[in-house]
Chains A and B, each alone.
Chain A
């Protein structure tokens, strides 16, 4: 079906009665460097199926982030949606409803000078070929105008053009899932305003008041996490089985007899991994077990409900869910009477438990929480492992997970390790706190419904893929040379996995990805065979 879209989108077009505001085309996107600069190197963009249009909000760009059927089916439902949205907005701007982020939100809404300095910092806006709807200020300006027009006394007189109708709300809801909350835009704002936060707050309004959020984040994510124990659906029993399997695997492949401690009381450290690791990349928790065993660390895993899955999807869309999960993590640590929690290679789990949830904890719940990266560097720096860098003698680059680096300032430990154990380590450009997001941030990595993965790989991950190709430009076209993107974050790995698959980067050019602990173990002298699969 041919869909009419608006040719030059304005802020006031958000409520326009057209089926789809924007139609994306491959030829408009940011070009990729060699060898992806030739035609036919990536699949064309597709349009949503007609049946999707009936239930989901395809009204923005045709892609579906919110995969629950929330499209109003008649006038009454449209009016109800509008009313409930406004109710939610009032609560979002109140102290009771939103003490958690009221000050930053109001400052960002009040002071924007519309200078657009932030736009070029946004990988999604730039990758899309600078489509207006993805400009960091676009969704913020819509929310700002709705607030001024409908909820302030002077609004009617001084507000700027915006129409609050069902189309506006449907598109705004989807727009909240076209930003990875990487907050690169905020770094450039001369006034310190935060369009990433405004995105987060729009998500919160939809979730907290209307119960609308992508299924993988809320229903199958945070809710399942609290109920079953893990967002992956893994039960405590299932978790224990997997750990057993990992022990056997380590013994079988590397001849090491390691007993992975579970529920050991009074250990120094409770290590919590993203449970996705156990299912998709068990070599990473296995690597931690090998390293900790060798380094003589006092540690344990927990089989307590929630205690074996570090993820906290609440951090992306709902503060109450964030607090609920964080409290469960702390309870697991308290039960085991450990000295501190150390979070495995998972970026958002780092930020959620260490930083964002810091101000919902008190008294005996306020126990130390730390990143695994300084600990890994401490182990490597003090030569607690016998490492041979020549085992990692292939091109390695480092992806900086936004949550760990830009949002927590943990920049050096991972670099120190790579500089010591990878002779061909090279930085991406830009890197460190100015890195680009992998495209999987803010939950995108786990949002796999309908056509969303296509949008993610083509738009959200495009800048990161460009950076990777440029980092490996000397050997990129030689499939004989394995090239490793070190991504110390589960969600980033998920996004890289899907991106490499989309562009066939592994099968064509031998571009691999994996964690940091995996690389450390690969350099261990006493391992008879390489630890990294692609070297075998």
Chain B
């Protein structure tokens, strides 16, 4: 890579890696705050709600009992976690309701999980190497594991993403609804993966990758290994992808937490004196109605609108 305004691209890489990590984390926090900062919504749960003890298997709720409001309601966190993991790891709903898509999307998502494990093993290896000893890292075979995750991950994700692209183009119902951004996201990921293959071809045992990570975790930016220009291109694209993820639809892993936990599984009743009741009071006294419909009292509070009927 050529020099740019006197600074080599290679020299910027470690700095941009740190910047990427920071921007990514800030982005995730931004998304989290954006969604969790939305006002309390009306209840809109959908059964089965998996934390109903003893009722999850048929979709029952505490409202099946007489005088439920007099009882202390319990929730089963285990059941909820079980359902969450089935969805996260195995994409349960796609498996149940859209099997042809599942084969492809499972390969894609499974591949991503493997790549994340690749990153994680790389990180642990490097931390151990820098702060404990390289021998310990070798003893627990982290380098081997790292290779396994890396190869399975990149192949599975690439096949998956190509499959998803083909399906999006070939399937009428998906093509008609897909927008520019849907294609851009998949193509972006594919390009990163293809440059990843090139990087892999010059570093088949991930030794450069390990050296790079060692440099990052040790904060020794001068110890940058010598990298092939295409490897540098891959790292730059990968960094751009990480920066882009929180601000794109790819942050659905966070969005999903809200759709399930905060909406579809949110069956928490509004009990007298509870935090929910406090928030309800605040909202319906505070918000003013902006609507112009003839039955609305525009600019009056929600409470005034609800309680004053002509």
Contacts and interface: CB of A to CB of B under 8 A. Distances in A.
A11 B171 CA distance: 15
A95 B276 CA distance: 18
A412 interface: yes
Given A107-B263, A110-B255, A409 B177 contact: no
B249 interface: yes
A121 B287 contact: no
Interface string A115-134: 11111110000000000100
B205 interface: no
Nearest to B92: A190
A29 to B, nearest CB: 19
Nearest to B281: A362
Interface string B49-83: 10010010011111111111110000000000000
A411 B97 contact: no
Interface residues of A, number: 96
Interface in A205-240: 207-211, 218, 223, 226
Contact of B295 (A119, A132, A321): A321
Contacts of A378: 66
Interface string A184-208: 0011111111100100000000011
Given A209-B291, A407-B47, A413-B64, A433 B93 contact: no
Contact of B64 (A120, A189, A374): A374
Interface string B236-252: 00000000000001001
B225 to A, nearest CB: 38
B306 A356 contact: no
Nearest to B277: A362
Interface stretch (A246-254, A363-371, A526-534): A363-371
Given A110-B255, A433-B59, A115 B174 contact: yes
A311 B40 CA distance: 25
A207 B294 CA distance: 9
Interface in A372-410: 373-375, 378, 405-410
Instruction: Count chain A CB atoms within 10 A of each CB in B177, B249, B270, B305 and give the residue with the most.
Output: B177
Contacts, number: 261
B259 to A, nearest CB: 3
Given A115-B98, A226-B309, A359-B280, A354 B63 contact: yes
Interface in B131-159: none
Interface string B181-223: 1100000000000000000000000000000000000000000
Contacts of A158: 179-181
Task: Tell me the interface secondary structure of chain A in the complex.
Answer: helix
A482 interface: no
Nearest to B68: A370
Contact of A410 (B61, B98, B178, B280): B61
Contacts of B269: 358
A138 B55 CA distance: 34
Given A11-B177, A114-B182, A360-B280, A188 B47 contact: no
B103 interface: no
B67 A366 contact: no
Contacts of A120: 97
B163 interface: no
Instruction: Count chain A CB atoms within 10 A of each CB in B176, B269, B288 and give the residue with the most.
Output: B176
Contact of B290 (A96, A318, A406): A96
B287 A99 contact: yes
B169 interface: no
B35 interface: yes
A360 B42 contact: yes
A150 to B, nearest CB: 15
B44 to A, nearest CB: 6
Nearest to B291: A208
A135 interface: yes
Nearest to B269: A358
Contacts of A119: 173
B93 A320 contact: no
Interface in B252-310: 252, 255-256, 258-260, 262-264, 267, 269-272, 276-277, 280-281, 283-284, 287-296, 302, 305-307, 309
B177 A410 contact: no
A370 B63 CA distance: 7
A113 interface: yes
B263 to A, nearest CB: 5
B55 to A, nearest CB: 7
Given A192-B263, A359-B276, A378-B66, A101 B292 contact: no
A209 B294 CA distance: 8
B176 A411 contact: no
A210 B292 CA distance: 7
B91 interface: yes
A433 B296 contact: no
B280 A362 contact: yes
Closest 3 CB pairs of A and B: A409-B61, A192-B259, A433-B59
Interface of B: 35, 38-49, 52, 55, 58-70, 87, 91, 93-94, 96-98, 101, 105, 168, 171, 173-174, 176-182, 249, 252, 255-256, 258-260, 262-264, 267, 269-272, 276-277, 280-281, 283-284, 287-296, 302, 305-307, 309
27 contacts: A11-B176, A96-B290, A100-B42, A107-B255, A111-B256, A111-B259, A115-B98, A116-B171, A117-B94, A120-B97, A145-B179, A189-B93, A323-B305, A356-B42, A358-B270, A359-B41, A359-B280, A360-B284, A363-B277, A370-B68, A373-B64, A407-B46, A409-B59, A409-B64, A410-B61, A410-B63, A412-B60
